[in-house]
Amino acid sequence: MGIIETKIDTQSDEYKKNYEAMTAIVDDLKSEMKIARDKRSEKAKGRLAAQNKLSVRKRIELLLDKNTPFLEIAPLAAKGMYDSKVHGAGNVVGIGMVCGREVMIHANDPTIKGGTVYPMGVKKSLRCQAIAMENRLPIIYLIDSGGAFLPLQSEVFPDIDDGGRIFYNQALISKMGIPQITAVMGLCTAGGAYIPAMSDEVVHVKKTGAIFLGGPPLVKAATGEVVSADELGGADLHCRESGVSDYYAEDDPHAIEIVRDIVRNLPVNEKSQLSLKKPDAPLYDPKEIYGIVSRELKIPYDTREVIARIVDGSEFLEFKELFGSTLVCGWSHIHGYPVGILGNNGILFSDSALKATQFIQICDKRKIPLVFLQNINGYIIGKAYESRGITKDGHKMVNAVATATVPKFTVMAGASFGAGNYGMCGRAYSPRFLWNWPNSEIGVMGGEQAADVLCTVKNEQLAREGKPNMTDEEIGMIKVPVMEAARKEGNAYYSTANLWDDGIIDPADTRDVLGLSISAALNAPIRDDVAGFGIFRM
């Protein structure tokens, strides 16, 4: 296989300026991650210690096999929402290795408002379950939650994708034969009681863990009965009398030990087999991506230079190199796994869309996972291109992306605008995982373009009414808020806060994150869908 020869001059001014800019962006990301992980009130930390509970991070650390990675999902979910205090949307979710088995972990953080469930917390829990279902990963729930965050109950309770969906999904996951194990390490109140109830096996911690449909305050209000949480739903009651729980744990570490034993006891899951190669590091330092990616989205960069720093040995067999040059397609390996990569090198034209369609078909037939590196401003527009049928050619690519049955993985590596987001496997196209770089931007179109469109529409409306065009001041009144909104809502942090992605990653970690994602995906059969595509409009 050919090797990508880099053309990057690491001594050039441009490289150095880009490198410096990306370093600052990644430093910001690291400090945001630290805040989300560690910033908790002294009061909440004190409550945890007083109850002899471990922190959510310590629980996960004990659960995972030593020195194995934790692929965390959406650590910055809900950033900037709810007074900026509900870090990670109130729970920690991720994929890790327990007794040699990849599992999905879902853990409430009791130091954030008693582990209560906020609207974005529900969204994150549903994403966690979707990942587990698609990739057939056993789920371990570490529950410690006061249930619905009551002031926002209308946003967490009634709708199709609200709290009830979590328990509905548990029933489906159970039907699919995917193991679900719950450790009750705090309260499981009201709806929350259904998480252990709908799991295969329940470990219950003495004194601190309790399961009940109505907590002591509600019981007192409803019936006048005065009862403690432990009497109402503690480990002794549920392990000895009701049979709701299956294993009695003395404390948090003991509960984690039992969960590990349960996982060890699961039948072996045969992972999907691909034609693996011995993994090799890329020839070039992945950190050089910092200097390659332009500090301004408008300035293009060669996606091959990024590919060279992600794939094994920087080896890449480029497909149709001389045709449809604004989309780079080709085969490589990442950590030994075969992949078909599609990376943007400009706007999508008819030829690049057709090339993508053919390439995706080949990968799908050969069961080769697809990796999309998005840096896309959209499909080409204009009369000449419409007359050549860009819409029907773009549609073929979108159709192929949507219906390909191999696992797909998307990295937002710059711009993600318009239908380009769809063709390059945006969130709506169900990539198994979608990772974001901190410099990326997303939107129907750029803010300036959107503002111009609205001004044109308004001026045409005025012309129809026989009125003069807008003044500069009126134009400003339309443009400024649209551009402001695009700046705020188009950036990576807004995206990740809203769970439009699975997390923002350091671009230098892209190779490792993709490797872990592919490995997780192989827990499911590589093609468990109806194979084949829809109708391609010719």
Provide the pairing of β-strand 337-344 with 327-334. antiparallel
Rounded to 5 degrees, φ, ψ at 323 are -125, 135
- Contact yes or no for 341/306 (Cβ under 8 A): no
Q: Which residue is it, tokens 């012309």?
A: 463
Nearest Cα neighbor of 357 from 337, 373, 338, 342 is: 342
Residue with smaller CB distance to ligand COA, 89 or 514:
89
Say which DSSP state 526 is in.
Answer: S
* Shortest Å distance, C-beta 156 to ligand COA: 9
Q: How far apart are the first and last CA of the chain?
A: 33
Cα–Cα distance for residue pair 478/181, rounded to 1 Å: 53
Residue with smaller CB distance to ligand COA, 163 or 503:
163
Residue with smaller CB distance to ligand COA, 114 or 233:
114
- Contact yes or no for 490/406 (Cβ under 8 A): no
Q: Which residue is it, tokens 């090198």?
A: 345
- Contact yes or no for 401/422 (Cβ under 8 A): yes
* Shortest Å distance, C-beta 251 to ligand COA: 16
Please give the residue ranges that form the binding site for ligand COA (CB under 6 A): 47, 113-114, 116, 146-150, 187, 189-191, 215, 218
* Shortest Å distance, C-beta 240 to ligand COA: 22
Residue with smaller CB distance to ligand COA, 103 or 112:
112
- Contact yes or no for 4/304 (Cβ under 8 A): yes
* Shortest Å distance, C-beta 110 to ligand COA: 6
* Shortest Å distance, C-beta 167 to ligand COA: 13
- Contact yes or no for 185/200 (Cβ under 8 A): no
* Shortest Å distance, C-beta 215 to ligand COA: 4
- Contact yes or no for 81/497 (Cβ under 8 A): yes
- Contact yes or no for 36/75 (Cβ under 8 A): yes
How many CB atoms are closer than 10 A to CB 226? 9
* Shortest Å distance, C-beta 145 to ligand COA: 7
Residue nearest to ligand COA (CB): 146
Residue with smaller CB distance to ligand COA, 186 or 340:
186
Residue with smaller CB distance to ligand COA, 150 or 299:
150
Residue with smaller CB distance to ligand COA, 148 or 482:
148
Residue with smaller CB distance to ligand COA, 216 or 438:
216
- Mind giving me the DSSP string for 388-401? TTHHHHHHHHHHHH
- Please give the single-letter amino acid code of residue 124: K
* Shortest Å distance, C-beta 205 to ligand COA: 13
* Shortest Å distance, C-beta 157 to ligand COA: 9
Residue partners of 380: CB distance under 8 A and separation at least 6: 347, 348, 349, 350, 390
* Shortest Å distance, C-beta 217 to ligand COA: 6
| 3-class state of residue 522 by DSSP | coil
Q: Which residue is it, tokens 């350091």?
A: 506
- Contact yes or no for 442/421 (Cβ under 8 A): yes
Helices (H) and strands (E) in the chain, counts: 21, 15
Beta bridge partners, 318, equal 330
- Contact yes or no for 203/259 (Cβ under 8 A): yes
Residue with smaller CB distance to ligand COA, 189 or 374:
189
Provide the pairing of β-strand 327-334 with 317-319. antiparallel
* Shortest Å distance, C-beta 53 to ligand COA: 9
Residue with smaller CB distance to ligand COA, 238 or 395:
238
303-to-188, 374, 432 alpha-carbon distances in Å: 48, 9, 22
Residue with smaller CB distance to ligand COA, 103 or 143:
143
* Shortest Å distance, C-beta 58 to ligand COA: 16
Cα–Cα distance for residue pair 426/422, rounded to 1 Å: 5
* Shortest Å distance, C-beta 151 to ligand COA: 6
Cα–Cα distance for residue pair 340/273, rounded to 1 Å: 16
Residue with smaller CB distance to ligand COA, 51 or 430:
51
Residue with smaller CB distance to ligand COA, 148 or 256:
148
